[in-house]
Amino acid sequence: MIDKLLAPCFVYLLAIFTVVAVGAAAPPVVEIGSRRELFVDEFIIDTLQGAQLRLHHPIPREVAITYDAPNEGNTSSYVRVFADGDRFRMYYRGSHYNWQTGKDTHEVTCYAESTDAIHWTRPELDLFEFNGSRQNNIVWTGSGAHNFAPFKDANPACKADARYKAVGSDAKGLYPFGSPDGIHWRLLSEKPVITEGRFDSQNLAFWDAVRGRYVDFHRAFINQVRAIRTSTSNDFLHWSATRVIDLGAAEPQHLYTNATIAYERAPHIFLSFPKRFVPSREAAYQPRPEHDFPGVSDGVLMASRDGIKWKRWDEAFLRPGQNVHRWWQRNNEITWGLLTTASDLPDRRPELSLYATENYYNNPCRLRRFTLRVDGFVSVNSPYKGGQLITVPLRFRGNELEINYATSAVGSVRCALLDESGAPLAGYALEDCEEIYGDQLEHVVRWKGVADVGALAGKTLRLQVALRDADLYSFRFR
Do residues 120 and 113 lie in contact, with contact meaning Cβ atoms separated by under 8 Å?
A: yes
Do residues 332 and 298 lie in contact, with contact meaning Cβ atoms separated by under 8 Å?
A: yes
pLDDT (0 to 100) of residue 18: 47
Would you give the distance in Å from CA 446 to the centre of its chain? 31
pLDDT (0 to 100) of residue 4: 38
Task: Tell me, yes or no, whether 43 and 97 share the same domain.
Answer: no
Of 23-27, 104-108, 418-422, minimum mean pLDDT range: 23-27
Do residues 187 and 162 lie in contact, with contact meaning Cβ atoms separated by under 8 Å?
A: no
Task: Tell me, yes or no, whether 254 and 159 share the same domain.
Answer: yes
Task: Tell me, yes or no, whether 364 and 399 share the same domain.
Answer: no
In a domain, 3, yes or no: no
Give the separation between CA 90 and CA 122, rounded to whole angstroms.
10
What is the SS3 string spanning 34-101? CCCEECCCCCCEEEEECCEEEECCCEEEEEEEECCCCCCCCCCEEEEEEEECCEEEEEEEEEEEECCC
In a domain, 1, yes or no: no
Give the separation between CA 376 and CA 352, rounded to whole angstroms.
9
Which domain-ending residue is among 356, 372, 388?
372
Do residues 425 and 417 lie in contact, with contact meaning Cβ atoms separated by under 8 Å?
A: yes
pLDDT (0 to 100) of residue 7: 35
pLDDT tens, residue by residue, 170-204: 999 999 999 999 999 999 999 999 999 999 999 99
What is the pLDDT of the chain when averaged over all its residues? 95
SS3 173: strand
pLDDT tens, residue by residue, 168-179: 999 999 999 999
State the first-to-last Cα distance of the chain, in angstroms, to the nearest integer: 25
Which domain-ending residue is among 319, 342, 372?
372
Residue 300 banded pLDDT, cuts 50, 70, 90: very high
Q: Which candidate, 458, 467, 468, 466, places its Cα nearest to that of 477?
A: 458
pLDDT (0 to 100) of residue 15: 41
Residue 6 banded pLDDT, cuts 50, 70, 90: very low
Task: Tell me, yes or no, whether 109 and 155 share the same domain.
Answer: yes
What torsion, rounded to 10 degrees, do the Cα atoms 375, 400, 438, 62 define?
Answer: -30
Give the separation between CA 76 and CA 366, rounded to whole angstroms.
8
Which domain-ending residue is among 372, 391, 415?
372
DSSP assignment string, 341-396: EE-SSTT--EEEEEEEEESTTSSS-EEEEEEE-TTTTEEEEE-TT-EEEEEPPEEE
User: Given a cut of 60, is residue 357 above it in pLDDT?
Assistant: yes
User: Can the peptide bond before residue 70 be classed as cis, meaning omega within 30 degrees of 0?
Assistant: no
With the C-alpha atoms ordered 36, 38, 43, 49, is the resulting torsion angle positive or negative?
A: positive
Task: Tell me, yes or no, whether 357 and 405 share the same domain.
Answer: no
User: Given a cut of 90, is residue 110 above it in pLDDT?
Assistant: yes
Task: Tell me, yes or no, whether 38 and 103 share the same domain.
Answer: no
Do residues 462 and 477 lie in contact, with contact meaning Cβ atoms separated by under 8 Å?
A: no
pLDDT tens, residue by residue, 274-293: 999 999 998 888 888 777 78
Task: Tell me, yes or no, whether 220 and 365 share the same domain.
Answer: yes
Task: Tell me, yes or no, whether 272 and 397 share the same domain.
Answer: no
Give the separation between CA 198 and CA 170, rounded to whole angstroms.
10
Widest distance between CA atoms in the chain: 81
pLDDT (0 to 100) of residue 124: 98
Where residue 215 sits, what CATH number does that domain have?
2.115.10.20
Structural domain span for residue 167: 59-372
pLDDT (0 to 100) of residue 27: 84
Mean pLDDT of 443-453: 99
| Radius of gyration for the alpha carbons in the chain, expressed in angstroms and rounded | 24
Q: Is the pTM above the cut of 0.75?
A: yes
Number of CB atoms found within 10 A of residue 260's CB:
24
Would you give the distance in Å from CA 277 to the centre of its chain? 18
Residue 294 banded pLDDT, cuts 50, 70, 90: confident
What torsion, rounded to 10 degrees, do the Cα atoms 308, 297, 90, 218 define?
Answer: 30
SS3 195: coil
H/E stretch holding 25 reads: none
Task: Tell me, yes or no, whether 339 and 359 share the same domain.
Answer: yes
Do residues 473 and 376 lie in contact, with contact meaning Cβ atoms separated by under 8 Å?
A: yes
Q: Which candidate, 478, 418, 415, places its Cα nearest to that of 448?
A: 415
| DSSP percent split of the chain into helix, strand, coil, nearest 5 | 5, 45, 50
Identity of residue 274: P
Q: Each residue of 57-71: b (16+ CB within 10 Å) or e?
A: bbebeeebbebebeb
pLDDT (0 to 100) of residue 24: 55
**Percentage of residues in the chain with pLDDT exceeding 90?**
90
Bigger pLDDT: 20 vs 207 = 207
Give the separation between CA 328 and CA 349, rounded to whole angstroms.
35
Task: Tell me, yes or no, whether 158 and 271 share the same domain.
Answer: yes
User: Given a cut of 60, is residue 13 above it in pLDDT?
Assistant: no
pLDDT (0 to 100) of residue 22: 55
Where residue 417 sits, what CATH number does that domain have?
2.60.120.260
pLDDT (0 to 100) of residue 25: 67
H/E stretch holding 20 reads: helix 8-22
Task: Tell me, yes or no, whether 389 and 428 share the same domain.
Answer: yes
Task: Tell me, yes or no, whether 107 and 252 share the same domain.
Answer: yes
The total number of structural domains that make up the chain: 2
Query: Can you give the length of the chain in residues?
Result: 478
